[in-house]
């Protein structure tokens, strides 16, 4: 069992580390797609187009913006609830669009492990939405 001083320190710094790690996942993914030029952007647009969503290239730019801006906000602790909420909705939509169909050649019970990864990320984002940036370092609320 943790002592009260350890719990306090964990509330201050553990939450900061958690939101920085969650934010970095989205920020770096968006940045990588953006800096990969037409290959990364075309790949995202192609995936979006494969689901039948219209204006796939515009949607790809929106995806990049959500990842970079939402990830940055989480890292900085700025409007944490709003950023986590936007990333939660984005991750939920991506999960429904790309990870819900069972795949015979994939993992345990035929489900793509990306489904479980995304559900775990969504759980972390729910924590960030609920508890905010924590008591440690942050730019704003």
The pLDDT assigned to 76 comes to: 95
Integer Cα distance of 44 and 29 in angstroms: 11
What number of H helices and E strands is found in the chain?
6, 0
Using 70 as the pLDDT threshold, list the residues of the chain that sit under it: 1-2, 38, 101-112, 140-141
CA 122 to the chain's CA centroid: 7
- Determine the pLDDT at residue 36: 85
- What is the model's pLDDT at position 141? 57
Overall pTM > 0.75: yes
């Amino acid at each position: 069992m943790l002592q009260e001083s350890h719990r306090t320190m964990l509330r201050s710094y553990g939450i900061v580390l958690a939101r920085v790690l969650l934010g970095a996942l989205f920020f770096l993914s968006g940045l990588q797609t953006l800096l990969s030029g037409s290959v990364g952007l075309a790949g995202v647009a192609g995936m979006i187009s494969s689901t039948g969503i219209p204006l796939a290239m515009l949607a790809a730019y929106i995806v990049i913006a959500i990842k970079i801006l939402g990830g940055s906000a989480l890292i900085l602790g700025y409007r944490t609830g709003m950023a986590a909420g936007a990333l939660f909705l984005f991750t939920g939509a991506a999960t429904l669009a790309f990870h819900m169909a069972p795949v015979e050649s994939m993992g345990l019970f035929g489900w793509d492990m990306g489904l479980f990864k995304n559900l775990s990320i969504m759980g972390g984002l729910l924590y960030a939405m609920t508890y905010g940036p924590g008591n440690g370092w942050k730019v704003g609320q």
